[in-house]
Amino acid sequence: MKELIKFSAVSVSAFAFLAVSALAQQETPPAENAPRLQNPAAMEAPGWDASANLSYTARSTTTFQGNHLANSDAYSANFGVGRQIAFDEDWFAHVGLASDNIFLGTVAGAPIPAGIHTLHLNTGLGYRINDDWTISGLLFPTLYQLDQIGSGDFGLAGGALATYRSSPSLLWSFGVMVAPDSDVPALPIGSVRWKINDRSLLEVGLPKTRYTYWLERKWTVYAGADTVGTTFRTSPSLGTQTGLPQFNHALATYRDIRLGVGTGYELLPGLRAEVEAGYSVYRRVNYTRISESVDFDPAPYVRAGLNYRF
């Protein structure tokens, strides 16, 4: 039952990032280490979780208003810290702070911001109904840019989530997210976590899907899909610089959907490192309020990450 609460709290963190970051990469890696997989009781203690993820998507052709332009690449640096809090056997909460930092290769004639910087507060309050069911309410304030902040640079998203344990090895999560400023303002959500055996774990859902296999106690290999991205506002001068003034201080969503394989290793108790590589299959800056977008062709990517639970 405590495993159910833990899964709900992790889901709160994941779907918080989904709401404010448009299917973005979540700071907590879905794979647990082998002892926790084999002994779910080890997953239950409240505590802190900190992470850092760095990635690079290679240069590819830019398309804007039907015109193929020069190549553009992307660097991302995502940082997060959060805490799971258990009030008693039934009530629990998650509070976290995440920062998205994305650096794009600018292209003449296209409204591509050189840098995107956003800050998200991820909060959730959950209640255990019984041994199999929990429910959570979610609320996610967001700061869409960190320079020249004005009233239009704050956003709010939220939602509701239910988690059901159908067996000791199978957990389901489903609900709805509402993010008015995203290019997907309302979205049904769902995920499943299946502990296939003592060496295999399958997680399917948003914002990340992954199959993990333990080669030994500390070392895993995995394959799956995830997304880097965020909802943001451009600078007041982006459109002026590109000769397209409608893109000044415009609301947009950046999204990079990727398929890859990787490996993870527990360096120290609680400290885990991952490296992966694959292909970015869909990358776009979507200006939802003015019905314009900048698209990038598929390209290879690499990622390195650290996660520390304490």
Gap between the Cα atoms of 222 and 113, Å rounded:
33
Query: What's the whole-number mean pLDDT along residues 149-166?
Result: 93
pTM: 0.84
Both tokens assigned to 240? 């002026």
Query: What's the whole-number mean pLDDT along residues 293-298?
Result: 98
Gap between the Cα atoms of 74 and 220, Å rounded:
27
| Residue range 86-123, pLDDT digits in tens | 999 999 999 999 999 999 999 999 999 999 999 999 99
50 versus 147: the higher-pLDDT residue is 50
Q: pLDDT value at position 42?
A: 32
Cα–Cα separations (whole angstroms), residue 200 to 33, 124, 216, 221, 261: 11, 29, 11, 10, 15
Query: What's the whole-number mean pLDDT along residues 51-58?
Result: 97
Q: pLDDT confidence of 45, banded at 50, 70, 90?
A: low
Query: What's the whole-number mean pLDDT along residues 179-207?
Result: 92
Query: What's the whole-number mean pLDDT along residues 207-221?
Result: 94
Both tokens assigned to 62? 């830019």
